[in-house]
Amino acid sequence: MKPGKESFCILLADDHVLIRHGIKNIIKQNDKFRVVGEASNGEELMVFLEDLEVDMIILDISMPGIGGMEAISLVKSKYPWTKILMLTMHKNKQYFYNAMAAGADGYLMKDDSDQELLIAIEKVLSGKSYISPFMVDDFADDVISMFRTQKKSPFQELTKREKEILQLVVKGYTSKKMAEHLNLSQRTIDHHRSNLLRKFNRKNSIDLVNYAVRNGFATAD
Question: Between 157 and 130, whose confidence is greater?
Answer: 130
| 162 and 130 part of one domain | no
Query: Which is it for strands 8-13 and 33-39: parallel, antiparallel or unpaired?
Result: parallel
- Asked if pLDDT for residue 132 goes beyond 90, the answer is no
Q: pLDDT at residue 84 above 90?
A: yes
The pLDDT value recorded for residue 145 is 58
- 109 & 175 share domain: no
| 91 pLDDT higher than 80 | no
To 10 degrees, the CA torsion angle through 207, 212, 218, 220?
50
Residues 121, 185, single domain; the answer is: no
CATH classification of the domain holding 68: 3.40.50.2300
Residues 40, 18 contacting (CB under 8 angstroms) = no
Per-residue pLDDT tens for 201-216? 888 888 888 888 777 7
Q: Please indicate, yes or no, if residue 1 is contained in any of the structural domains.
A: no
Residue 2 lies in a domain: no
**Cβ atoms within 10 Å, residue 139:** 18
Domain of residue 43 covers: 8-150
CA distance 148 to 97: 8
Percent of the chain with pLDDT over 70: 88
| pLDDT score recorded for residue 138 | 46
- 110 vs 65, 88, 179, CA distance in Å? 21, 5, 39
Instruction: Kindly tell me if the per-residue pLDDT of 142 is higher than 50.
Output: no
Give residues with Cβ within 8 angstroms of 4, minimum separation 6.
none
Residue 91 lies in a domain: yes
**DSSP string covering 3-40, please?**
TT---EEEEEE-S-HHHHHHHHHHHTTSTTEEEEEEES
Q: Percent of the chain scored above 90 by pLDDT?
A: 40
